[in-house]
Structure 1
């Protein structure tokens, strides 16, 4: 069967989904793969390289919206940038950058199926629940040192595994290191934004060199615009997660989604499943 085209309506819905899924610890990339697969959309049959390029466009829309929405917070962090913060950012950036550069292709080929995404959702849920329950000791973000930066960097590297979630992994790492919920969320944002912007910029350059086929440019534009708008419109979710609330509901949702995937896999066992690789 020839590869399917990227449909305008599906591109728009996935863009609208990407924003809130990126702001919550539930794995945006996992949702972009699982939702079309569960609903039987043609997106699951789109040529893999084109799907990768589209997901880069979704991340570009989200990154741009975060820079706009968090400009005050980013500016304050830049004005207070000192040696301690530089070390924190560098150590949180290096592990995922190195892992992404060296392991991107193997991860895409082997860990982008619904089954492996379900596994990432469950493992991430366990880490979040345990760290949130037993880790915090009331530390403030101003206390963060190089050890915290390294822990956050390793968490972001682990989040390259589809379904784990960059937000969920860094929240779990920060809580395990003893930070309270508000400060854990702030640290999660501060270390994630450079990675999101950097990875999107690098992949965007590759996409620009390769070019976007003419027939799908409208779908790319719709998805990017929807991702930007949904991220900008969902920034209030940051404050909801940031409040002194447990991560348990998010962990439970992830487990429920993983169970839905496993149920579908069991039901369809023996059939030829459409299982596209995921750009982590």
Structure 2
């Protein structure tokens, strides 16, 4: 890959000055190998639970005082997408039987479900991505996304029924799931959490809601990975940073494979309230910490 000189350093330096700490001069300082691996290990379970993996990847370093926030914003986003790629690859392996069954049973209804649930977030991402990245993504805004998502999850799970089976999902359900994934572009909202809330609100039981959430999420994750990967290929990485990305991807892949049992925990007939409570507690900790800084 071709490295674009100075891009990472300029973004890091400005972020460091804004944070009141000494400026980080290189992307390697902003993303040490240890931090890349730890963030990859965190990403797997955070992605499988409705708690916002992207929110955790930003908030945990911020709360812990790591220099990750001083990395150039474009490189941070690329790193997060790389972690998603590791998680997606692990899910394709761990859930290969489920994926194979879905592929073999592919019919007009399933194609419509995938296409509509993909089209809405794809259009939203292409048109609103830059604005969202520029205006949102701070610890305070992520805390707001966590709280708002918690309220939606708790409400939808409370009022949602259990009478519908995943095989009943149609075009209207696909649009709801697509809108949910578009809303998840807001940092802290959580793609898993929003699609679970949409499916529960549409009357699907928790196990079926989880299956629908997984089935519509994988195409979006793969599509975002290809788009960001292409951009990153043309832009290039600063010297030495590729190894940190690879380490993070491998850690994300391994932690996802080791955490797939969490899927069964979420899809059991249990309330989403504990996850909503955890998200709210994390948001409160972030807001409290922000006031002290």
| TM above 0.5 | yes
Give the structure, 1 or 2, with the largest relative contact order (CA under 8 Å, sep 6 or more).
1
> Is 1:106–2:131 an aligned residue pair?
yes
Q: State TM-score, norm by structure 2.
A: 0.89
Counterpart of 2:234?
Answer: 209
Q: State TM-score, norm by structure 1.
A: 0.93
Is this contact kept in 1: 2:163–2:205, CA < 8 A? yes
Q: How many residues align?
A: 268
Residue 3 of structure 1 and its aligned partner are, at CA, apart by: 4.2
Counterpart of 2:270?
Answer: 245
Residue 67 of structure 1 and its aligned partner are, at CA, apart by: 1.1
> Is 1:229–2:254 an aligned residue pair?
yes
Counterpart of 1:37?
Answer: 62
Residue 2 of structure 1 and its aligned partner are, at CA, apart by: 4.0
- Three-state SS of the structure 1 residue aligned to 2:269 is coil
Is this contact kept in 1: 2:162–2:206, CA < 8 A? no
Cα deviation digits, residues 19-77 of structure 1 (max 9, x gap): 00000000000000000001110112112222222112111111111111111111100
Separation in 1 of the partners of 2:231 and 2:274?
38
Cα deviation digits, residues 230-254 of structure 1 (max 9, x gap): 0111111111111111101100000
Residue 136 of structure 1 and its aligned partner are, at CA, apart by: 1.6
Counterpart of 2:279?
Answer: 254
Counterpart of 1:90 (choices 102, 108, 115) is: 115
> Is 1:162–2:177 an aligned residue pair?
no
Separation in 1 of the partners of 2:174 and 2:78?
30
Is this contact kept in 2: 1:171–1:184, CA < 8 A? yes
Separation in 2 of the partners of 1:80 and 1:228?
27
Deviates more, 1:33-42 or 1:53-62: 53-62
Counterpart of 2:167 (choices 138, 142, 152) is: 142
Is this contact kept in 1: 2:142–2:188, CA < 8 A? yes
Counterpart of 1:274?
Answer: none
Is this contact kept in 2: 1:3–1:46, CA < 8 A? no
Gaps of 5+ in 1: 269-280
> Is 1:195–2:235 an aligned residue pair?
no
Counterpart of 1:276?
Answer: none
Counterpart of 1:19 (choices 44, 62, 80) is: 44
Separation in 1 of the partners of 2:213 and 2:175?
13
Is this contact kept in 1: 2:83–2:252, CA < 8 A? yes
**Structure 1 residue runs of 4+, over 3 Å off?**
none
Counterpart of 2:157?
Answer: 132
Cα deviation digits, residues 222-279 of structure 1 (max 9, x gap): 11110010011111111111111110110000000000001011112xxxxxxxxxxx
Residue 209 of structure 1 and its aligned partner are, at CA, apart by: 2.0
Is this contact kept in 1: 2:83–2:248, CA < 8 A? yes
Counterpart of 2:12?
Answer: none
Is this contact kept in 2: 1:30–1:117, CA < 8 A? yes
Is this contact kept in 2: 1:57–1:224, CA < 8 A? yes
Separation in 2 of the partners of 1:217 and 1:149?
37
Residues 160 and 3 (structure 1 numbering): CA distance in 2 closer, same or farther, change over 3 Å?
farther
Separation in 1 of the partners of 2:107 and 2:154?
33
Is this contact kept in 2: 1:3–1:45, CA < 8 A? no
